[in-house]
Amino acid sequence: MHNQTVTQLAAALKSGELSSREITAHYLQRIERLDGKLNSFISVTAEQALNGAEAADKARAAGDTHALAGIPLALKDIFCTKGVKTSCGSKMLDNFEAPYDATVVEKLSAAHTVSLGKTNMDEFAMGSSNENSHYGPVKNPWDLTAVPGGSSGGSAAAVAAGLVPAALGTDTGGSIRQPAAFCGITGLKPTYGRVSRFGMIAYASSLDQAGPMARSASDCAHLLNVIAGHDVRDSTCATRGVPDYTEQLNAPLSGLKIGLPKEYFGEGLNADVERAVREAVKVYESLGATVREVSLPHTHYAIPAYYVIAPAEASSNLSRYDGVRFGHRCEDPKDLIDLYTRTRAEGFGEEVKRRILIGTHTLSEGFFDAYYIKAQKVRRLIRQDFLDAFEDVDVLMGPAAPTTAFDLGAKKDPVSMYLQDIYTIAVNLAGIPGMSVPAGFVDGRPVGLQILGTHFAEAQLLNVAHQFQQATDWHLQRPALAEENA
């Protein structure tokens, strides 16, 4: 059962072959038995899940036609959930129960999906390895000595290990796509503003975006159907209508124009990863696509621009954690400044502090123009690179990350960790959608093919990914952990 896709499980629920209660109980049992090895969940909500499953079964029996009614899912612990702890991977929020649900959580409940719990993540979504969590690192199901990627590492590992059929993640600089690549699953970061950010704990508000992580492009399409759309509670959420993302999945790819950015195949790219990605591109050629090289000339400046803009926004967003309204509060503060400074020193981890300090410094008097305004100008040039490329080609393809999953503890200094995101980070600066789909293995660790489209081209990306998954079986490969029965 746990090797089926959401699409297959939904069909079994519809036909009455399986009940949500059976499916939910099966996955809960797997989490109970196997998550000790992975640490992919921060909170498991078994009782609510079983109640939700029963409600979904009743709703189906009463004629509910939601495609995903009764499907169990997991939520990255960045989405606020009423009555269930939302920690954001931080000691600061270890005691936090939100008084409301995030919009995406409301939408998933309204569609009668069943949440199994909240997944582990890098603290406040700041990280590329899931080693920055207050709740300890997550292990990669393909190799327990490797990281699962980050920051949505718990969601990626749980899906890959068959502990849940699909999960939600968030992506500010690659946090859906890179862990999807490292764990051999399919992940989609939608266009900025496609999915509401209301109730999603803010890291960098002009970059953050939620999206699905699952075992196939078809599953991602079903999930995006539920979570996409305008929300009056998020003023940056796009007002544009939402298509049925499953409709275009089967469109043929003949005539598709693929661009390979030459900057994504340069120095620093592991040769075996490159080989796997080029093999995947050949599959597309066999499906009737044409391939040409393109250039995104400002690629090299994406990481520098990001590490001004994201920390600047973070330093502002994280000023709300002051020990007064929610979250951690230090013991016996002697005055108000002591309350603030000690609460924040105790509640935040090292990487979060680093980014708050960088952001505060670059926004401060005397540095603002040289760093922040400069980075925003470069951001426009980076976006223009993509817009120019999409004049000539339909989609861009390349690796999701320069290597496969690295070993736990391998990246010791912050900058070497930041460089992991070289192929994903520009996409957030430009606001365009991107996917990672499984495209092979190097020494037993998965490789992700990244597919990028222009603003609001999610239906096309899902079509392009789905056709690849009809022609290959990389996305069907399972780690030994997921092959274990029961």
Partner 1 sequence: MALEESHVRRAAHLARLAISDDQAGRFVDDLSQILDMVDQLQQVNTDGVAPLAHPLDATQRLRADEVTDTNQRDEYQRCAPAVEDGLYLVPRVVE
Active site residues: 76, 151, 175
Site for partner 1 in 98-127 (CB under 8 A): 98-99
Classify 164 in phi/psi space as left (phi over 0), alpha (psi -120 to 50) or beta.
beta
Site for partner 1 in 184-203 (CB under 8 A): 191-193
Closest CB to partner 1 among residues 269, 302: 302
From 258-266, 276-284, 296-304, 393-401, give the range in contact with partner 1 by CB under 8 A.
296-304
Smallest gap from Cβ 210 to partner 1, in A, equals 15
**Separation CA 421–CA 88 (nearest Å):** 21
**Separation CA 207–CA 309 (nearest Å):** 9
CB within 8 Å of 60: residues ≥ 6 apart: 13, 14, 20, 69, 70, 112
From 28-36, 113-121, 256-264, 340-348, give the range in contact with partner 1 by CB under 8 A.
340-348
Question: Does residue 315 touch partner 1 according to CB under 8 A?
Answer: yes
Closest CB to partner 1 among residues 110, 370: 370
Please count the other Cβ atoms lying within 10 Å of the Cβ belonging to residue 170.
26
Cis peptide bond N-terminal to 316, omega within 30: no
**Separation CA 83–CA 231 (nearest Å):** 22
**Percent helix, strand and coil across the chain, each rounded to 5?**
45, 15, 40
Q: Which of 92, 308, 401, 408 binds partner 1 (CB under 8 A)?
A: 308
Question: Does residue 480 touch partner 1 according to CB under 8 A?
Answer: no
Closest CB to partner 1 among residues 164, 432: 432
The mark string for 80-99 relative to partner 1 (x by CB under 8 A, - otherwise) is ---------------xxxxx
Question: Does residue 282 touch partner 1 according to CB under 8 A?
Answer: no
Site for partner 1 in 198-227 (CB under 8 A): 206
Collapsing DSSP to helix, strand or coil, 375 comes out as: helix
From 67-75, 221-229, 347-355, 470-478, give the range in contact with partner 1 by CB under 8 A.
347-355
Q: Count residues near partner 1 (CB under 8 A).
A: 74
Question: Does residue 356 touch partner 1 according to CB under 8 A?
Answer: yes
**Separation CA 127–CA 149 (nearest Å):** 8
**Dihedral angle over CA of 338, 342, 347, 350, nearest 10:** 130
Question: Does residue 354 touch partner 1 according to CB under 8 A?
Answer: yes
From 118-126, 162-170, 317-325, 438-446, give the range in contact with partner 1 by CB under 8 A.
317-325
Question: Does residue 383 touch partner 1 according to CB under 8 A?
Answer: yes
Question: Does residue 387 touch partner 1 according to CB under 8 A?
Answer: no
Integer CA distances (angstroms), 110 to 6, 29, 331, 430, 448, in order: 17, 25, 41, 32, 32
